[in-house]
Structure 1
Amino acid sequence: MFDRQLIWISLGLMLTGLIMVGSASFPISTRLTDQPFHFMLRHMLFVCLALGASSVVLRIQLDTWLKYSGKFLFVSILLLIAVLLVGKSVNGAARWLPLGIFNLQPAEVAKLSLFIFISGYLVRRHGEVRESFKGFVKPLIVLITLAFFLLLQPDLGTTIVMFVTTIGMLFIAGAKLWQFIALVMSGISLVIVLIIAEPYRMRRVTSFLDPWQDPFGSGYQLTQSLMAFGRGSWFGEGLGNSIQKLEYLPEAHTDFVFAVVAEELGFVGVTLILVLIFALVLKALLIGRKCLQHDQRFGGFLAFGIGIWFAFQTLVNVGAAAGIVPTKGLTLPLISYGGSSLIIMSVAVSLLIRIDHECRLYLENEPPRSENEEQK
C-alpha cells in the first residue's frame, strides 16, 4: 500500500547526494581534518538518521499530526527563540543549535511545522478562508511571527520559501484572487525593502546582475560557479575531476553542490537530477489532488505544500548556482550536505508516503457510490 516509485526516487536522490557531497568535500575535508572522507562520513550518518526518522514518521497517523499541529508549531517557535539566545553563529548568522553529533537548524523544523499547521487550519477553517478576509489573514499572522524570528538570525531565504509555499496553499484552498494578488505584491515589496535595508543583501543582488564586474570580490562565488557549469559541457569532466571544488568555489558541498554536479556530470547529469526532483514534486502534487478529490483535506493540503516547498527551494538553489537568481543559501533537497535539511526533508517525504497510504486505505474501504452520486 506504499508508493514504491516515491520511495525509490527519494532513495535515488539521497544516494546521489551522498556521492556528490563526498566528491565535492574531499579538498576542504582534507584541509580542515586531514581526513578526505570526513564530511562524506558525516553525511552518511545524516542519511542514517534521516532514514531512522522517516521509518518512525511512516508509522504515525495523519490524525496525530493534525491533532498536535499547534503544539508542533509552538515547539518550533521556542527553537527559533533558543537559537537567538544560545545558537552557534557562522559567518555572522546565528542559525544552529549544537546537539553534539550535529547542529540543529530550527529554521528547517519551522518550515515543516508551519506547513503542517496551515494544512490543519485549512481543514478547520476551509469555508472561512474562502469567504472572509479574516480567515485568509489568520495564517499570515503565524507566518509573520515565524518570519520575525527568522529575520533576526538573519535568514531571508527560509522566510521567502515559507511565504511562497503559504500563499500557494491558500490559493489551492480557494482564497479569492484579489487577496492572492494583494499578498503577492505585498510580499514582493517587503522583500525589496529588506534587500535595500541590508548592505550585504544589496551586494548579492548587484553581484548577481553583473558578477564579472567584481570577479574577485562580491561576484567571486557566482563566477566560480559559472566556470564550473562551463567546464561541465554535455557529459562533464568525470566524477571526482572537478577543478572548482579545489577550494576555488566556496560552499562546494553545501549550497553550491549543484555546480560541482554540473562540472563533473555535465548537462546530462544535471538533467537526470532535475528530472528526479521534478518527479518527486509531481508525485506530491498528484497525491494532493487525489486526496482533495476524495475529501482527505489535511493530507491533500499538506501534500501540495510539500510539493511547492520542494519545487521552489530547488528553483532557488539551482537558480543561484546558475546565476539566474541571487544567492540565498538554500540547500538542494535531499542532496546538499546538512543534517537538519536532510532529516526534515526526509520526514516530509515520509509524510507524503503516509498521506498516499492513508488515501489508498480510504479508497479501498470507501462504500461504492450509487449511479446518481456518480452522475453528480
Structure 2
Amino acid sequence: MLKYLIPIFNPTKSDWAPLARIIHWLTLLWLFIGLVVLFSASYPEGGDNLGNGLYYIKRQLIWAYPGLILFNVVSETSLKKLLKITPIVVLILFAAIIATNIWGVTINGAQRWLGVGTFLIQPSELIKPFLVLQGAIIFSQWHKSTIEKRIFWLVIFALILGGILMQPNLSNAALCGITLWLIALMGMIRWRDLGIVALIGISLGVISIQFNQHQLQRVMSFRDPWENISGDGYQLAQSLIAIGSGGTWGSGLGFSNQKLFYLPIQYTDFIFAVFAEEFGFVGCIALLLLIMSWATVGVLIAIQSQTTINRLIAGGAIIFMVGQSLINIAVATGAFPTTGLTFPLFSYGGNSVLASLFLAALLIRVARESNEGTLLEFPQPSQR
C-alpha cells in the first residue's frame, strides 16, 4: 500500500525489467521538468487574474499526485486485468463525450468539459489510454473476429471521433483517429481497408475546417502570421518572438518576457514557447533528446514484445505521448497550424496529466510482461 500512497517509493522496481525501469525514470523526469516550466509560465497569469501566482501549479500538483498513484497502480496491474474492463470503460467515456456535447462547460468557444464540483472532467482526454487498449484488442484479433464484432467497434470508434469533432475539437479527434489507424496498421490490416478509412477521415477533417470558421482562420493565419499580426496571426507571432528571444542559452528560468501577457494561453497550448525563451536553443535540444530517448526506449519495448497485442499497446502509447508532444512543438514553432493540443506532462490540465501517466504506465507494463514471463493469451492474427 505504501508504494501507492507514496508514488516515488516502490521497492519492487529493482525487480523490473531494465527497459521498464528506464521508461519509469524518464517519465518522472519529464513530469518534473514540466511542473517547473508550468510554474514559471503560469505565475504571472495566476497572480494578475486570480490574485495567486501559485494557483495553476497548485491545481496541477493536486492532479499529479493521484496521477502518480494511478501510474504505479497500472504499472503493477497485469494487462489481462486492464483489458477485461476496457470495453466497459470505453463505452462509459463515450457516453460522457456525448453528455459533454449536451451539458458540457464551454471555455474559449469549445464545449469539452463536464463540471464535477470545482473540477472539470474532459472525457476526450481520459479516453486516450482506453482507445489504445481497445484498439489493440480489436486489431490484434481482426482476422479472427466475427464481422459483427468488427462492425460494432468500428462504429463505436467512429462515433467517439464524431463526438469529439462536434465539441469542436478537430485536433484531438484527428490525433485519436490517426492513433487508431496506426494501431490497425501495426495489426497488419489490409492496405485497401486502411486507405478507405484514411480517405474518409481526411474528408471529414476538410469538411470540418470548411464549416468551422475558427478552424479555417487558424489554418489561414498559419501561412503568414505576420500578415495579420494584430488579428488571427497574433498568437503564433508572439510564440515565434518568444522562441527567437531565447537565443542560444535562454533568458533563464522565470525571466520570459512574452509570458507577461503578450503570449496568450502560455501555460497550456504554447508552453513550449515559454520554455524555449527561458532555456534557449540548448534547452530545446535537451528537451527533444529527452522525448526521443523516451520514444527510443518505447520502440525497443514494442520490438521485444512477445505478443501482437502487447506490441500494439506499446505502439499506441508511444504515438499519443510522443506524437502529441511533437505536434505541440510544431504548432509553437509555426510548422503546423494552431491545433489546441496540449504538451503532455507540461501543459496545465489535470485530465491530460492523468491520461499521459496512464499511457506511460501501459508502456512500463508491456516492458515488464515481455521480460518477466507474463504473456497475454490472445489469438494471433493471420499474416496476409
The alignment's TM-score, normalised by the length of structure 1, stands at: 0.90
Contact 1:165 1:305 in 2 (8 A): yes
Question: Which residue of the other structure, out of 12, 21, 24, is the alignment partner of 1:7?
Answer: 24
In 2, Cα distance between the equivalents of 1:177 and 1:86? 39
Q: Which residue of 2 aligns with 1:21?
A: 38
Secondary structure at the aligned position of 2:127 is classed as helix
In 2, Cα distance between the equivalents of 1:185 and 1:319? 24
Secondary structure at the aligned position of 1:323 is classed as coil
AA in 1 matched with 2:332: A
In 1, Cα distance between the equivalents of 2:195 and 2:91? 29
Q: Which residue of 1 aligns with 2:355?
A: 344
| Residue 262 of structure 2 corresponds to residue 220 of structure 1 | no
| Residue 115 of structure 2 corresponds to residue 115 of structure 1 | no
Q: Which residue of 2 aligns with 1:98?
A: 115
- Greater shift, 82-91 or 68-77, is seen at 82-91
AA in 1 matched with 2:296: L
The verdict on how the C-alpha distance between 1:267 and 1:140 changes in structure 2, with shifts beyond 3 A counting, is farther
Q: Which residue of 1 aligns with 2:250?
A: 236
The verdict on how the C-alpha distance between 1:361 and 1:47 changes in structure 2, with shifts beyond 3 A counting, is same
In 1, Cα distance between the equivalents of 2:211 and 2:324? 24
In 1, Cα distance between the equivalents of 2:49 and 2:180? 40
In 2, Cα distance between the equivalents of 1:136 and 1:283? 32
Q: Percent identity?
A: 32
Q: Could you tell me how far 1:127 is from its partner in structure 2?
A: 4.6
The verdict on how the C-alpha distance between 1:363 and 1:45 changes in structure 2, with shifts beyond 3 A counting, is closer
In 1, Cα distance between the equivalents of 2:183 and 2:47? 44
Q: Could you tell me how far 1:317 is from its partner in structure 2?
A: 0.6
The alignment's TM-score, normalised by the length of structure 2, stands at: 0.88
Q: Could you tell me how far 1:75 is from its partner in structure 2?
A: 1.0
| Residue 221 of structure 2 corresponds to residue 207 of structure 1 | yes
Mapping 1:35-114, distance limit 5 Å: 35-100=52-117, 102-114=119-131
Q: Which runs of 5+ in 2 are unaligned?
A: 1-14, 376-384
The verdict on how the C-alpha distance between 1:183 and 1:81 changes in structure 2, with shifts beyond 3 A counting, is closer
Secondary structure at the aligned position of 1:58 is classed as helix
Q: Which residue of 1 aligns with 2:340?
A: 329
In 2, Cα distance between the equivalents of 1:253 and 1:118? 32
AA in 2 matched with 1:74: L
| Residue 317 of structure 2 corresponds to residue 306 of structure 1 | yes
Q: Which residue of 2 aligns with 1:157?
A: 171
Contact 2:139 2:189 in 1 (8 A): no
Once the two structures are superposed, residues 129-150 of structure 1 have per-residue CA deviations (whole angstroms, 9 ceiling, x without a partner) of 9xx9x98766542321101211
Runs (4+) off by over 3 Å:
126-129, 134-140
Contact 1:282 1:307 in 2 (8 A): no
Q: Could you tell me how far 1:102 is from its partner in structure 2?
A: 2.9
Contact 1:224 1:249 in 2 (8 A): yes
Mapping 1:217-296, distance limit 5 Å: 217-291=231-305, 294=306, 296=307
Q: Could you tell me how far 1:224 is from its partner in structure 2?
A: 0.3
Question: Which residue of the other structure, out of 100, 119, 142, is the alignment partner of 2:156?
Answer: 142
AA in 2 matched with 1:336: S
- Greater shift, 177-186 or 22-31, is seen at 177-186
Once the two structures are superposed, residues 285-334 of structure 1 have per-residue CA deviations (whole angstroms, 9 ceiling, x without a partner) of 2212211xx2x232221111111122221122111101111111111111
The verdict on how the C-alpha distance between 1:126 and 1:356 changes in structure 2, with shifts beyond 3 A counting, is farther
Contact 1:66 1:298 in 2 (8 A): no
The verdict on how the C-alpha distance between 1:218 and 1:60 changes in structure 2, with shifts beyond 3 A counting, is same
Contact 1:288 1:303 in 2 (8 A): yes
- Greater shift, 207-216 or 139-148, is seen at 139-148
| Residue 198 of structure 2 corresponds to residue 184 of structure 1 | yes
The verdict on how the C-alpha distance between 1:138 and 1:278 changes in structure 2, with shifts beyond 3 A counting, is farther
AA in 2 matched with 1:20: V
Q: Which residue of 1 aligns with 2:6?
A: none
Contact 1:303 1:355 in 2 (8 A): yes
AA in 1 matched with 2:116: L
Contact 1:317 1:330 in 2 (8 A): yes
Secondary structure at the aligned position of 1:68 is classed as helix
